[in-house]
Amino acid sequence: MGLIIKNLVGGYQNVPVIKGINLEIQPGEAVGLIGLNGAGKSTTIKHVLGLLRPISGEISLNELTLKEQPTQFKQQVAVIPETPVLYPELTLKEHLELTILAYGLDRGHVWPHALELLKLFRLDDKLGWLPIHFSKGMKQKVMIVNAFLTDAQLLIIDEPFTGLDPLAVANLIDLINSAKRAGKMVLLTTHVLQTARRALERYVVLNNGLIVLDGSLDSIKQHYEIADDNFGELYQKLAVEQSK
Ligand SMILES: Nc1ncnc2c1ncn2[C@@H]1O[C@H](COP(=O)(O)OP(=O)(O)OP(=O)(O)O)[C@@H](O)[C@H]1O
């Protein structure tokens, strides 16, 4: 069970940006994928979303493989991308309806939950709005509401902590923590470790397309001999490691 990435080699037009990754995430676990710009975080995510085809290796989610059961696999995954993807001609309400359709959800059952989420992110009075009227953070919140509306077992969240206000960040952290309690899996990329630690216990450090560490933030700090919470120093040390 869980997400299993086995010996993944992948990237763009056969350029192996990802050079052999092994990663398992168990139900109820949230993992932070961290590393320098260009380390391979987004490329890994694109592979898990089935947007890139592996050069070799395999990805499975609760025993469904992306290769053999791509449709069922993708229905188990919800994504909150760093840059919101919204349809300019659809209202907020229509975006939610689309998610309900795409994930085959029961409208009557899910709509009260949608209203709760909208209220949490102060979007409940904006159901008739089109994306053009939303700010960047509001668009991000629409993506969050859509993702948490689904019953997907794996939530992929790409750098959520840079465009949201502190209230929305706190709400997102609460949602991640309750998703974990519900047995879901979370894979989150971020550079903002000070905030991520409120939701994540486990971190995977990517450097140059390889996993160089997998553990708690404390074990990472220990490994790189980081004093206090000076995470800037961590990235300096990763840069030194990368250039070797
Ligand atoms: N569309 C693309 N075509 C070719 N190479 C790409 C493409 N996108 C990214 N790369 C390369 O793949 C490598 C990994 O990039 P990736 O976007 O996965 O990094 P990242 O860890 O997500 O970085 P960031 O923190 O900046 O988001 C980089 O060397 C980058 O130049």
Question: What is the Cα–Cα distance from 101 to 87, expressed in whole angstroms?
Answer: 15
- Interval 103-119: pLDDT, tens: 999 999 999 999 999 99
Q: Tell me: the pLDDT tens digits for 192-241?
A: 999 999 999 999 999 999 999 999 999 999 999 988 778 888 899 888 88
- Within 13 Å, how many C-alpha atoms sit on residue 1's CB side? 8
* Structure token pair of residue 210: 């390889």
Tell me, using a 6 A CB cutoff, whether residue 17 lines ligand 1.
Answer: yes
How many C-beta atoms lie closer than 10 Å to residue 32's C-beta?
Answer: 24
- Protein residue with least CA distance to atom 26, ligand 1: 37
User: CB of 204 within 8 A of CB of 33?
Assistant: yes
Q: Whose CA is nearest to atom 1 of ligand 1?
A: 12
- Position 229 scores a pLDDT of 78
Per-residue pLDDT band at 52 (split at 50, 70, 90): very high
Q: Is 126 in the pocket of ligand 1 (CB under 6 A)?
A: no
Q: Which atom of ligand 1 approaches the CA of 82 most closely? A: 27
Q: Which amino acid is at 85?
A: V
Distance separating alpha carbons of residues 38 and 206, to the nearest angstrom: 10
Distance 38 CA to ligand 1 centre (A): 5
Q: What are phi and psi of 150, to 5 degrees?
A: -75, 170
| Share of residues in the chain with pLDDT > 70 (%) | 100
Distance 40 CA to ligand 1 centre (A): 6
The residues facing 102 across adjacent strands are none
Sequence-distant (6+) residues with CB within 8 A of 102 are none
pLDDT band at 13 (very low <50, low <70, confident <90, very high): confident
ipTM for the whole complex: 0.97
Sequence-distant (≥ 6) Cβ neighbours of residue 77 within 8 angstroms: 48, 49, 61, 152, 153, 154, 155, 156
What pLDDT sits at residue 102?
Answer: 93
Rounded to two decimals, the pTM is 0.94
* Domain range annotation of the chain: 1-76+155-161+187-244
Q: What is the DSSP string of 101-151?
A: HHTT--HHHHHHHHHHHHHHTT-TT-TT--GGGS-HHHHHHHHHHHHHHS-
Question: Tell me, which fold does domain 1-76+155-161+187-244 have in CATH?
Answer: Rossmann fold (3.40.50)
Question: 48 vs 66, 157, 193, CA distance in Å?
Answer: 8, 12, 23
Give, in order, the Cα–Cα distances in Å from 35 to each of 54, 125, 160: 21, 38, 15
Residue 244 has pLDDT above 80, yes or no: no
Determine contact, residues 146/78, Cβ cutoff 8 Å.
yes
Contact between residue 131 and residue 88 where contact means Cβ atoms under 8 Å apart: yes
Our answer on whether the CB atom of 41 is closer than 6 Å to any ligand 1 atom is yes
Q: Distance, CA 109 to ligand 1 centroid (Å)?
A: 40
Alpha-carbon distance of 34 to 104, in angstroms, equals: 33
Distance 17 CA to ligand 1 centre (A): 8
Q: Is 10 in the pocket of ligand 1 (CB under 6 A)?
A: no
